[in-house]
Amino acid sequence: MNDAFTPPAPRVWSVAGLSRAVSDALAARFSPVAVRGEISAFSRAASGHCYFTLRDADGGDAQLKSALFRGAAQRLSFAPRDGQRVVVRGRMALYEPRGDLQLVAESMALDGEGAWLERFMQLKARLAAAGLFDAQRKRPLPPVPSVLGVVCSAQAAAWHDVATALQRRAPHVQVVLAPSLVQGSQAPEQLVAALRQLAGLTLPEAARAAGLRGPVQAVLLVRGGGSLEDLWAFNDEAVARAIVAMPVPVVSGVGHETDFSIADFCADLRAPTPTAAAELAARPQAELLAELAAIRQRLSTVAQQRLQLAQQRTDHLAQRLDDQRQWALHGQRQRLAELAARLGRPSQRLAQARLALQSLAQGMAGSAAAQRQQHQTHLQRLADTFAQAPPRNMQWQRQHLSGLAARLNALAPQQVLQRGYAWVADAQGRALTSVAQVQAGQQLQAQLRDGVLQAQVLAVEPNPPQS
């Protein structure tokens, strides 16, 4: 008997029943589930629910419609947008009214570097709101530093680059290394400690105790390039606040030119590389020496010009003083001539008296002998008197002349100046004898015993009238 096997007839489902059965199977098999993908066609409804398509993160064509309801969306730590790579955790479900397969997301997190970037943006926004990035807070670097501090790993290539650049460009600068880890979980704490160590060396006493030529005047915070995760120690809030609290300017040279960190925004100056940080902090020694030579030349030129002006003014004043002395001496010579002339007049009168006596003697020659003898005796006494008069008169005249000469010498300008007086003249050299000749603000010259003063009148105060 050859009876053929007849398969059972398939169950006939209603659309709603099959949809519900598939939904139950998905919930039992794929709940919960985690899916990695890239957000596409993201939208937010007025109700607060979010809808998007999750595409294959490897660039394939596979895609999965997804829904993020309002409660879950409010718990997100970032704002979803197209192109972000995320890991979505939720459950698979079937939207029965349309029969659409969808992923109902219960949580969402950025995948890989995207998560680091999101944390970076959140910290940046919070610190910016706190004022840590304000441009008004930024301080200029010292123009010619003598001591620089460096925070870096002692084994890193960045430290070698900075030390080499400073030795080549500015060998006069003393460099102090505060070593620290620059990567890993312990790096932020060590970076903060290194910065505080250098902050203490900004005090002169601490700098001398450390054997430095002076206090630390600026700090270089440097590290080589790497991924965002590698550089994450420089995105730590404690490090950022330690940079802002530094008493001296901080130059950040973290990573390569395209790398940015929170430390870059907090620092007083950002350099694209560690070597560039060293170049920004210290100018080349050759350039400084050239500037010093130029300054020295300018100072020498100015000093020579001022010296020449002073010499010319001294010569002018000396000439004026010599003219005044010659004028005074000329007056003294005239006075002496007058005195000498007056001194010679008694001699003339003596000569006239002698002539008169001779005439009288001749007139009396014919008188009687007694009278002649009497007259001769009288004349002899007169002659003796007149003979003695000139010496006495000459002696008196000499004494009188010596007294006049002494009085004249006491009145000489230089003798007057020796006693503390001053000879005051206006800018044209005219002597001043009254306050009526002077106005406030006028330039005057005062000749003292050992030099000339250039003065300016502050006020004119005449003496009160005598009652």
pLDDT score of 362: 57
pLDDT score of 365: 47
The share of the chain scoring above pLDDT 90, in percent, equals 26
C-beta of residue 92 within 8 angstroms of C-beta of residue 67: no
pLDDT score of 164: 93
**Where residue 343 falls among pLDDT bands split at 50, 70, 90?**
low
For the stretch 40-90, pLDDT in tens is: 899 999 999 999 999 887 767 788 899 999 988 988 877 888 888 888 888
**Where residue 181 falls among pLDDT bands split at 50, 70, 90?**
very high
Q: DSSP H helical segments within 259-284, as ranges?
A: 262-266, 274-281
Amino acid residing at 63: Q
- How far apart CA 363 and CA 365 sit, in angstroms, is 6
**Where residue 368 falls among pLDDT bands split at 50, 70, 90?**
very low
The DSSP output letter for 325 is: H
- How far apart CA 256 and CA 158 sit, in angstroms, is 11
Amino acid residing at 421: Y
- How far apart CA 273 and CA 279 sit, in angstroms, is 10
Backbone phi, psi, residue 255, to 5° = 80, -160
Min mean pLDDT across 134-143, 213-222, 253-262 is at 253-262
pLDDT score of 382: 62
- How far apart CA 86 and CA 40 sit, in angstroms, is 11
CA distances from 271 to 108, 247, 280 (A): 36, 20, 8
For the stretch 16-25, pLDDT in tens is: 777 677 767 7
**Where residue 330 falls among pLDDT bands split at 50, 70, 90?**
confident
Q: What is the rounded average pLDDT of the residues 393-410?
A: 68
pLDDT score of 454: 87
pLDDT score of 28: 67
pLDDT score of 89: 87
Q: pLDDT: is 1 or 228 the higher one?
A: 228
- How far apart CA 143 and CA 146 sit, in angstroms, is 10
158 pLDDT above the threshold of 70:
yes
CA distances from 250 to 149, 230, 264, 278, 358 (A): 9, 21, 10, 11, 120
Paired with 175 in beta bridges are: 148
* Mean pLDDT of the chain, nearest integer: 81
pLDDT score of 200: 93
The residue written with tokens 């000569």 in the block is: 351
Half-sphere exposure in the Cβ direction for 153 (13 Å, CA): 15
End-to-end CA distance of the chain: 173
Q: pLDDT: is 96 or 205 the higher one?
A: 205
Q: pLDDT: is 21 or 461 the higher one?
A: 461
The share of the chain scoring above pLDDT 70, in percent, equals 78
- How far apart CA 437 and CA 339 sit, in angstroms, is 35
Q: pLDDT: is 252 or 355 the higher one?
A: 252
pTM: 0.48
For the stretch 265-317, pLDDT in tens is: 999 999 989 999 999 998 888 888 888 888 888 898 888 888 888 888 888 88
Q: What is the rounded average pLDDT of the residues 376-389?
A: 63
